Structure 1
Amino acid sequence: MKKALLILILILQFSSFAQNKQLLYNFTSIPQSSLVNPGADVSYKYYFGVPLLSGVSANIGSNSFSAYDLFADNGVDFNDKVRNIINKSSANDKTQVNQQLEIFSGGFRVGGVDSQSYISFGAYQEFDFLMYFPKDMAILALDGNQNYIGKSFNLADVNVRAEVLSVFHVGFHKKVSKKLVLGGRAKIYSSGANATSTKNSGYIYTGQGTGTNMYTQIIESNLELKTSGISKFTKDEYEGSIPKDIAHNTFLNGSLGLGFDAGLTYYIQDNLQFTASILDVGFIRQSKDIETLTYKGTYRYDGVNPNFDAVNEPKNIFDEFDAAIPRDTLYNKYTTWRPIKFNSSIQYSFGESRYDGECNCKGSSERRYLNAVGAQVFARTMPKEPYVALTAFYKRSIFEKLDFKATYTVDTYSFTNLGLGLSGTLGKFNIYGLVDNVFQYRDITKAKSLAFQFGLNFIFQDPKY
């Protein structure tokens, strides 16, 4: 059981990659770029995405080890591999998983032929997971406390949250002047399942007592797990399908919440552009199928280290432990806040060109540029400290309807993250593909992070913009 728990923790660590979409950000030939900046400078008559295929993204990675470290056929004992991974990991190592699937999307111009105001709308499904590596608990599960007399194992290392939800949104975007574009988006969240355990504290301590084999063992516990939309699946009488029931709850049948995005684009000069956006400022009121489990209290044992076997079962010790740190179940509603994300970039364009064709997806500025370079910063709120990433990028219009973007990103997971993206339009049909960490594809077993996005859209452009 201990080994199974450790393997589960380590496998989850493979999925640690923040929701940074630096390739999509300000890649304005892709309509979905407005999802990461509602104030992106795009213009169109209207567009609509191919249902279920307009925006698909997934990411996986680890900031401390790779699959190769755990499963390599190199003659090293598996238990030693696990121990090496735990020893080199820290309690600040994070597991982050984010997956999104756009259900439908669209947008259209409002206000007449000369208007530069647009409305966009859509819905997407999202899975979001965050876990800090519980190093002290992993050591205790693997080695026990025999070699750690005098050490306190920190229960605050248990820090995890996960959610499956859908997001329905509508946005408004307007070019208010030649220099300034503003945009905002309202969101309705529907949470199908949520688990949150992020405010834990306490410790497990074993100290040397007086005399041979005499010990003092103290457990100070303040553990809490809040769940919504999950508890019915653990009941013996449940006979349904968990995936189907979670999917049913996710689309406006679960706990509801509200949020908003906001963004802008400002032209300092015709070829010098500043952008910024803030995303997912919102909350969900968890109110459906709610259950909170708590283990709170203090247990102290003084004496000979107990022998927990079938012959000498210390029933009185278990009874004392249950009385000192009881398991309580509460049914109170609770509020979860969405992880807020911030983007900002500065972009310098050069290589002026004029397009004679129908499509212009780069914005409505009169001047067109073939090249652009710049820098972007991304930040996301987390329970312990914010995640921050810095990106340098280069964009190029290869042909009139084929655009290329390359990014180089530095964050806590990698200093060698090179990303490549293409967006092409054939007639009205737009297809795009974005891939992060391309160097890692040489041997994905040694990869510490991988990410991709792709989508299909139909874009109907106004030739005058």
Structure 2
Amino acid sequence: MRYKRLAFVLIIITFGFVGAQNKQLLFGFNDIPQSALINPSTTLKNDLFVGLPLLSHVHATVGSSGASAYDLFADDGRDFSSKLQSLIFRLDSNDFFMFNQQFDIFSGGFSYGKGIEKDRYLSFGMYLETDAIVYHPKDYAVLAYQGNADNIDRIFDLSDLNASGEVVSVLHIGTTKKINNKLTIGARGKIYSSVFNVNSTKNSGSFVTREGQNNFLEHTFNLDLSVRTSGIKSLAEDNNTDFSKDIKTIRKRMLFGGNLGLGIDVGFTYQATDQLMFEGSLQDFGFIRHKKDIESYTLKGNYTFEGINPLFPEVGNGQTAEEYWDEIADNFEDLFEVDSAANKYTTWRPLKLNGALRYAFGKKQNKDCDCLNDDVGYINEVGAQLYAVNRPKRPQFALTAYYYRRVFNGFRVKATYTVDSFSYKNIGLGVSTHFGPVNLYVLADNLLEYQNLAKAQSASLQLGLNFVFGRNK
């Protein structure tokens, strides 16, 4: 039982000290084949594409809604302890830290249909995604930093513990269908294979210390805490020193050897006029059923203890985090019994919503005849996009305005301005180039902070390499 208690405490510690992704630059950028992953109704401008394995789409986003590394590590004359204290009290329990990473393992697609005009497009592939979000456990942090000796009669809210993380591989296939000259629809089916999952999102309870009789302190716990895991127990307990065997296990889970689930994306594109377009999509309406290699930890009940010493002492001078939490774990070892079980559970994928309005303008002019060349369409586009993602506590939103331009054949750019949970001044830039059949793209957010990334509350980068054939210029 000691191992299970320690595992429970370690998971909480990890969540507390670890550090969705909105892909507004990629959304609607239909020169890039991977834009169909965000909206399956996107009409790709090619007949066939093959993504370079492992490099066709690489994406990483990291963010903090209320703090940056600069807040803790700035060389401003203040000591680290005072900066940490300021940060703990400034953030609230709805502030969060997040990380999302995704890269394609393989991808491809082709157009098809009856007759000369191919009105359908089939795309497919497989990608690996890591997604984690940790809400600031404010009352836990205050308790750890100050202890409870100076917080008599303060009720600490234990529901502040809220975090989830997963690594999942996704095999997908989608189709785009042009219904008529105005409406195009699309859908994408997905099979999820979970590699790891850890979540602790339904906690409640409180802790309070009051003065008792004869100078004793009365500590009262009302607890309903739980952590659910899958894919972790076997690797943690196998006593295996050969890391290559663990890699083989993880590889099997990626190829449908893990906990499985199903999902779907749907989308539409409506061409209201020659210049005005509406589009929207829902991503990852799906679930994963966890039945293999599962273990859950629960701590539930009402407890009252009396003593002359506080249960949560203030952090001592020179005391490391490991030493402090070892002391807390030793105290709790004698007070609580953590229950463990292998109960099956279901997790829902973070549902994402995208909606956009686009307006195209600026026909390209033919220099030879001083007339408009209707074949190439419009070279400029402005628009607005709304993004939302469902998260454990509440949905997160982002609003983007953008400008897109075909600079010349084979070179397209997109600039964005985004307001989201991280910043009100997020400027992004994306570039897509074509050299023969080779499509190379780079998309980056929050460019104003690149002069000092330590001050950035978020950063995002996407890049990829595809081979594209039959491209519509």
TM-score between both structures, scaled by the size of structure 2: 0.88
| Aligned equivalent of 2:46 | 44
- The question of 1:286 aligning with 2:297 is answered no
Q: CA RMSD in A?
A: 2.6
Alignment deviations for residues 306-365 of structure 1 (CA, whole Å, 9 cap, x no partner): 6999xxx9xxx968723xxx2111111111000000000000110013799xxxxxxxx9
| C-alpha contact (below 8 Å) 2:48/2:111 kept by paired residues | yes
- Give the Cα–Cα distance (whole angstroms) in 2 for the partners of residues 197 and 226 of structure 1: 6
User: CA 1:216 to 1:344, structure 2 compared with 1: closer, same or farther past 3 Å?
Assistant: same
- The question of 1:447 aligning with 2:456 is answered yes
| C-alpha contact (below 8 Å) 1:257/1:283 kept by paired residues | yes
Amino acid across the alignment from 2:51: G
| Aligned equivalent of 1:329 | 340
SS at match of 1:414: coil
User: CA 1:10 to 1:422, structure 2 compared with 1: closer, same or farther past 3 Å?
Assistant: farther
Identify the match of residue 390 of structure 1 among 393, 396, 399. Answer: 399
- Give the Cα–Cα distance (whole angstroms) in 1 for the partners of residues 181 and 440 of structure 2: 29
User: By how many angstroms is 1:238 displaced?
Assistant: 4.0
- The question of 1:403 aligning with 2:412 is answered yes
- The question of 1:345 aligning with 2:356 is answered yes
- The question of 1:12 aligning with 2:18 is answered yes
| C-alpha contact (below 8 Å) 2:216/2:307 kept by paired residues | yes
| Aligned equivalent of 2:82 | 80
| Aligned equivalent of 2:134 | 131
Amino acid across the alignment from 2:362: G
- Give the Cα–Cα distance (whole angstroms) in 2 for the partners of residues 110 and 305 of structure 1: 75
SS at match of 2:109: strand
Amino acid across the alignment from 2:380: N
- Give the Cα–Cα distance (whole angstroms) in 2 for the partners of residues 39 and 318 of structure 1: 54
User: CA 1:282 to 1:366, structure 2 compared with 1: closer, same or farther past 3 Å?
Assistant: farther
Identify the match of residue 171 of structure 2 among 161, 168, 188. Answer: 168
- Give the Cα–Cα distance (whole angstroms) in 1 for the partners of residues 414 and 299 of structure 2: 51
- Give the Cα–Cα distance (whole angstroms) in 2 for the partners of residues 373 and 280 of structure 1: 27
SS at match of 1:288: coil
- Give the Cα–Cα distance (whole angstroms) in 1 for the partners of residues 365 and 263 of structure 2: 40
Amino acid across the alignment from 2:90: K
- Give the Cα–Cα distance (whole angstroms) in 1 for the partners of residues 425 and 312 of structure 2: 50
User: CA 1:233 to 1:286, structure 2 compared with 1: closer, same or farther past 3 Å?
Assistant: same
User: CA 1:73 to 1:111, structure 2 compared with 1: closer, same or farther past 3 Å?
Assistant: same
- Give the Cα–Cα distance (whole angstroms) in 2 for the partners of residues 11 and 220 of structure 1: 24
- Give the Cα–Cα distance (whole angstroms) in 2 for the partners of residues 461 and 354 of structure 1: 24
| Aligned equivalent of 1:271 | 275
Summarize the alignment of residues 69-148 of structure 1 with structure 2, pairs less than 5 Å apart.
69-112=71-114, 113-148=116-151
| Aligned equivalent of 1:298 | 302
- The question of 1:152 aligning with 2:161 is answered no
| Aligned equivalent of 1:361 | none
Is 368-377 or 241-250 further displaced after alignment?
A: 241-250
- Give the Cα–Cα distance (whole angstroms) in 2 for the partners of residues 244 and 446 of structure 1: 39
Amino acid across the alignment from 1:120: S
- Give the Cα–Cα distance (whole angstroms) in 1 for the partners of residues 28 and 49 of structure 2: 17
Alignment deviations for residues 168-188 of structure 1 (CA, whole Å, 9 cap, x no partner): 000011111111111100000
- Give the Cα–Cα distance (whole angstroms) in 1 for the partners of residues 205 and 162 of structure 2: 13
| C-alpha contact (below 8 Å) 1:343/1:378 kept by paired residues | yes
| C-alpha contact (below 8 Å) 1:135/1:157 kept by paired residues | yes
- Give the Cα–Cα distance (whole angstroms) in 2 for the partners of residues 307 and 456 of structure 1: 56
Summarize the alignment of residues 58-73 of structure 1 with structure 2, pairs less than 5 Å apart.
58-73=60-75
- Give the Cα–Cα distance (whole angstroms) in 2 for the partners of residues 74 and 133 of structure 1: 24
User: CA 1:237 to 1:7, structure 2 compared with 1: closer, same or farther past 3 Å?
Assistant: closer
| Aligned equivalent of 1:227 | 229
- Give the Cα–Cα distance (whole angstroms) in 1 for the partners of residues 428 and 443 of structure 2: 7
| Aligned equivalent of 1:245 | 249
- Give the Cα–Cα distance (whole angstroms) in 1 for the partners of residues 340 and 447 of structure 2: 47
SS at match of 1:443: helix
| C-alpha contact (below 8 Å) 1:355/1:400 kept by paired residues | no
User: CA 1:366 to 1:210, structure 2 compared with 1: closer, same or farther past 3 Å?
Assistant: farther
| C-alpha contact (below 8 Å) 1:216/1:301 kept by paired residues | yes
| Aligned equivalent of 2:371 | none
- Give the Cα–Cα distance (whole angstroms) in 2 for the partners of residues 397 and 117 of structure 1: 25
- Give the Cα–Cα distance (whole angstroms) in 2 for the partners of residues 395 and 306 of structure 1: 61
SS at match of 1:382: coil
Alignment deviations for residues 287-310 of structure 1 (CA, whole Å, 9 cap, x no partner): 11011111111110245446999x
User: CA 1:306 to 1:368, structure 2 compared with 1: closer, same or farther past 3 Å?
Assistant: closer
| Aligned equivalent of 1:196 | 199
Alignment deviations for residues 50-77 of structure 1 (CA, whole Å, 9 cap, x no partner): 1111000001222222112212333322
| Aligned equivalent of 2:323 | none
Q: Which runs of 5+ in 1 are unaligned?
A: 357-364
Q: Percent identity?
A: 45
User: By how many angstroms is 1:5 displaced?
Assistant: 10
User: CA 1:163 to 1:272, structure 2 compared with 1: closer, same or farther past 3 Å?
Assistant: same
- The question of 1:184 aligning with 2:195 is answered no
| Aligned equivalent of 2:370 | none
Q: Which runs of 5+ in 2 are unaligned?
A: 1-5, 314-326, 368-373
SS at match of 1:79: helix
- Give the Cα–Cα distance (whole angstroms) in 2 for the partners of residues 118 and 318 of structure 1: 59
| Aligned equivalent of 1:436 | 445
SS at match of 1:107: strand
User: By how many angstroms is 1:7 displaced?
Assistant: 9.6
Question: How many pairs align?
Answer: 441
- The question of 1:458 aligning with 2:462 is answered no
